[in-house]
């Protein structure tokens, strides 16, 4: 799922998010999607994740640059309601709404 979804414009993580490339834990290499985006993460974190199979949780997914926003899971129903209520959902409107929900 990550190899496809990571290319979306907005990627929301919560405290329940678990990011993993489980195939690397059994000696395989990341799928084609992972092979594309992992080396493009800042620093060497992508290489580390690809080589070790280390799992990121919650806010670390945002810090690694995989998620674009962090929202507490209890706020997701309200966020979904506000997203569907947008009259003309532009990139800017969605970004503003996500920023308003983003936990500091």
Please write the tens of the pLDDT for every residue from 49-67. 888 889 999 999 999 999 9
CA 78/CA 76 separation, integer angstroms? 5
- With CA atoms as reference, report the closest residue to 31 among 9, 7, 11: 7
Cβ contact 87:101 at 8 Å: no
CA 104/CA 101 separation, integer angstroms? 9
Q: What percent of the chain has pLDDT over 70?
A: 99
Indicate whether 100 pLDDT > 80: yes
Per-residue pLDDT, 104: 58
pTM: 0.86
**Residue located via tokens 């799922």:** 1
CATH fold for the domain made of 1-103: 2-enoyl-CoA Hydratase; Chain A, domain 1 (3.90.226)
100 burial via Cβ count (<10 Å: 0-12, 13-18, 19+): exposed
């Amino acid at each position: 799922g990550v190899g496809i979804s990571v290319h979306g414009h907005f990627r929301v993580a919560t405290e329940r998010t678990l990011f993993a490339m489980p195939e690397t834990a059994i000696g395989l290499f990341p799928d084609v999607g992972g092979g594309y985006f992992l080396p493009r993460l800042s620093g060497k974190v992508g290489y580390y994740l690809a080589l070790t199979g280390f799992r990121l949780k919650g806010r670390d997914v945002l810090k690694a640059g995989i998620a674009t926003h962090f929202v507490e899971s209890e706020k997701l129903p309200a966020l979904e309601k506000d997203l569907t209520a947008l009259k003309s959902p532009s990139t800017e409107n969605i970004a503003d709404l996500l920023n308003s929900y983003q936990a500091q």
